[in-house]
Amino acid sequence: MAILEAREITKVYKTKYRTYPVLKNISLDIEEGDFVAIMGPSGSGKSTLLNVLSSLDIPSEGDIKVGGTTLTGMKEEQLGIYRREHIGFIFQNYNLLDHLTIKENILLPAALKKGDKKGVQNKLQKFAEELEVTKFLTKYPYEVSGGQQQRAAIIRALINNPALLFADEPTGNLDSKSAQNVLHTLKMLNEKYKTTILMVTHDSVAASFCNRVIFLKDGQIVHEMKRSKLEDTSKFNQRILSFIAKEVEDNDINVEIYN
């Protein structure tokens, strides 16, 4: 079952003198329980696509449904409520508030939503233990490492039971060890709890943890790759790198633009 359906999504930015088409008639489905990466050269539109699909930005044309609910056409106030109750976000810069403890940061989305407070506390305890953040719940973000902040941000994104989790370069500010920990955490959440995740990344290693990779170029989907059941992350990474190398060679471009 498709949890996200996007049809003929176009995004155009206009200035007084020019029009910039960033996304061009993109259609895609994200199945419930899927773990999908969006990759592409710098300027390909991958972050814009994530923003549009998550309702942080509005498409110029096209339709988007999440969990059967049509987002296009909603007023900003309605979108804000829908995002808070049905969508989770993980950002590259963690977006934790320094004046709140880690625990307070995690519980902030739940505080804005009326619900089962005891259930929220139980969920916090469960995920804090599973993601190994229990020991620093009373600390402030500036007192813990980047990897610990990102794991806290993941719990915050999950606290309201989102239908879909969006991750924008979640390992971009982390060292390799912390990045691996975060990626293993996302993979565990996907496999154990069937959390549906859509992640933008420039890193083939990060993408190899996903089940499916969508490649963008010039605002369009140009290729899609699925990991087979017999394929581990290392082999999938090699396939991803081979496609990128071919793209670089065929188009005579610098591999650095994938960063």
Confidence of residue 253 (pLDDT cuts 50, 70, 90): low
**Statement: residue 118 has pLDDT above 90:** no
Q: What is the pLDDT of residues 217-247, one digit of tens each?
A: 999 999 999 999 899 999 999 999 999 998 8
115, pLDDT greater than 70: no
Please list, in sequence order, all residues whose beta carbon lies within 8 angstroms of the beta carbon of residue 93, skipping any fewer than 6 positions away. Answer: 173
Strands (E), 131-243: 164-168, 197-200, 212-217, 220-226
> How far apart are alpha carbons 38 and 168 in whole angstroms?
10
Q: What is the reported pLDDT for 114?
A: 67
* Residue range 153-173: mean pLDDT, rounded: 94
- Residue 255 pLDDT > 70: no
User: Which residue did the predictor score with more confidence, 258 or 42?
Assistant: 42
Span 66-80, pLDDT tens digits: 999 999 889 999 999
Q: Is the pLDDT of residue 165 over 70?
A: yes
Say which amino acid occupies 107: L
Return the percentage of the chain with pLDDT > 70, whole number: 95
Q: Are 163 and 198 in contact (CB under 8 A)?
A: no
CATH topology of domain 32-52+85-250: Rossmann fold (3.40.50)
The residues facing 186 across adjacent strands are: none
What number of other Cβ atoms are within 10 A of residue 28's Cβ?
18
The yes-or-no verdict on residue 36 having pLDDT over 90 is yes
**33 CB neighbour count, 10 Å cutoff:** 15
Residue 22: what pLDDT? Answer: 96
| Alpha helices for 131-199 (secondary structure H) | 146-158, 176-193
In terms of Cα–Cα distance, which of 170, 233, 181, 132 is closest to 38? 170
Contacts of 193 (CB under 8 A, 6+ apart): none
Q: CB atoms < 10 A from the CB of 199, how many? A: 26
Model pLDDT, residue 185: 96
* Residue 66: burial class (beta carbons within 10 Å; 0-12, 13-18, 19+): buried
| Across 37-51, average pLDDT | 95
Tokens 């190899």 sit on residue: 208
Report d(CA 15, CA 82) in Å as an integer: 30
Compute the CA torsion angle 151, 157, 158, 159 (nearest 10 deg): 110
Tell me how crowded residue 98 is: count the other CB atoms within 10 A of its CB. 9
The pairing of beta strand 87-91 with beta strand 69-70: unpaired
Q: CA 172, CA 206: separation in Å to the nearest integer?
A: 10
- Predicted confidence (pLDDT) at residue 153 exceeds the cutoff of 60: yes
Determine the Cα–Cα distance for residues 212 and 37; give it in Å rounded to an integer.
6
For the chain, what percent of residues have pLDDT higher than 90?
82
Sequence spans of domains, the chain: 32-52+85-250
Statement: residue 200 has pLDDT above 90: yes
**Is the pLDDT confidence value at 106 over 70?**
yes
User: Residue 248: its pLDDT value, please?
Assistant: 78
pLDDT tens-digit series, residues 123-148: 999 999 999 999 999 999 999 999 99
CA 171/CA 259 separation, integer angstroms: 13
> Average pLDDT of 191-214?
96
Quick one: pLDDT at residue 206? 96
Per the prediction, the chain carries an average pLDDT of: 92
Strands 61-66 vs 69-70: parallel, antiparallel or unpaired: antiparallel
